[in-house]
Structure 1
């Protein structure tokens, strides 16, 4: 069976990485379409992406910054028209975006319904593990399934999984919320170790503010999911 694979890349101020991210996946034969959704960037992300001359690449610009969840939903409305396999990929992966091939192979082999990229350990010290620990333990408590990469945004789905969602959850809790829903619906998730790298947040004020927002959003999503699945 011939599959149509669409990759959605939500991008916000990724001018320094988006070119490498795109150029390292356009030659992967299995990928039919790459949808870049510029989330109201204030830099020239959209211009750089639009200059990639390849029929696979389709670039869309939102009128203002609306968040990752909104950008993913925007891309899904386009990709769902043709694709039977859909992937989410961050715009800041640079040349390591080519590792998405490791996620595509197992989904084509029907090893699971969803494949999630598991990153190697961070090269610099980030947070204190509270956000990652909250996400991992909450998914385990609610579903009985232990996963290491609950926060990873690099994922490949069979179309039928995404059709279960009216829309992708908004905010930084998007991955955790989706993971709980997918497992509750009985879909099989497989984690695959990849050699991907992206922009890491350090132990500075900006990093701690970011992780604080993540923690808040995840707690909010978990509260909602406990109501939905009780």
Structure 2
């Protein structure tokens, strides 16, 4: 990625949504307030409520799946819609994926755009504060973090964060996206294996949390299953970086610094790779965020 700034770069927000009629309008309005955003696409993934109508009334371009096809499919549909609306004589829009339940706090995702605009990273990921009332014991988060670290050397603070801004090139390196709740883990591994740089950025966002009731337990079980599936698929296909190639970057990494494992992904006949790089950015509250 060129380090040169791109002052004319535009951003498209893509919001996968299912049964979010109560929150989607606030989320769309917040996203439209983000600088450089000139397009908000909501993909209604088979909702049974008025999600699409509320999103359209708030100013979003809407697309609807007649039946639920999952978050990854909704993200891919949104990216395709953005591609069809990109300017012929300008750069492809950056893709800013945002969860539908953020409401007004989605405006804080504006912090994800500058690192990609300025060439610091190819994908910026939101690291949210600890969410009050969240259940679970962090099993899914730990499994996701460990898998990303084994594959790339990077230990993210928020491995399951759905708020991500990335270049079109980084996105294309990760498609087809991992299914279900494994999409974020798959994105992180695939983008890093392809030689792109990632960075986490603290964002003051809030979303609906799952508690310790039966519904919350079932949700976390489904999430864990999808994450494990995404991990297993990438292990089987050897989508990883040789530890000898990311060793230096892994040793030097710290939260909220850009991380690049290497420039060339490992293959059976892997050649020499460019040296790993890191660029300091957003260092405050790093250790506290990792502990949470």
Class of the TM-score when normalised by the shorter of the 2 chains: over 0.9
Q: Would you say how many aligned residue pairs link Structure 1 and Structure 2?
A: 227
Matched, 1:40 2:46: yes
After TM superposition, the score normalised by the length of structure 2 is 0.75
Aligned mates of 2:41, 2:176 — CA distance in 1: 17
Aligned mates of 2:187, 2:35 — CA distance in 1: 28
Aligned mates of 1:26, 1:196 — CA distance in 2: 16
Structure of larger gyration radius: 2
Aligned mates of 2:17, 2:34 — CA distance in 1: 20
Q: Which runs of 5+ in 1 are unaligned?
A: none
Q: Which runs of 5+ in 2 are unaligned?
A: 1-5, 87-91, 240-292
1:21 paired residue number: 27
Aligned mates of 2:199, 2:174 — CA distance in 1: 20
1:76 paired residue number: 79
Alpha-carbon offset, residue 14 of structure 1: 0.5
After TM superposition, the score normalised by the length of structure 1 is 0.95
2:214 paired residue number: 205
| 1:129-155 residue CA offsets vs partner (Å, 9 max, x unmatched) | 110000011111111111111100000
1:106 paired residue number: 115
Higher RCO (Cα < 8 Å, 6 or more apart):
1
CA contact (8 A) 1:18 1:49 kept: yes
Q: How does 1:176-187 map to 2 (within 5 A)?
A: 176-187=185-196
Write out the 4+ residue segments of structure 1 that deviate beyond 2 Å after TM superposition. none
Aligned mates of 2:122, 2:28 — CA distance in 1: 25
Superposition CA RMSD, Å: 1.2
Aligned mates of 2:212, 2:152 — CA distance in 1: 32
Matched, 1:189 2:198: yes
Aligned mates of 1:130, 1:61 — CA distance in 2: 33
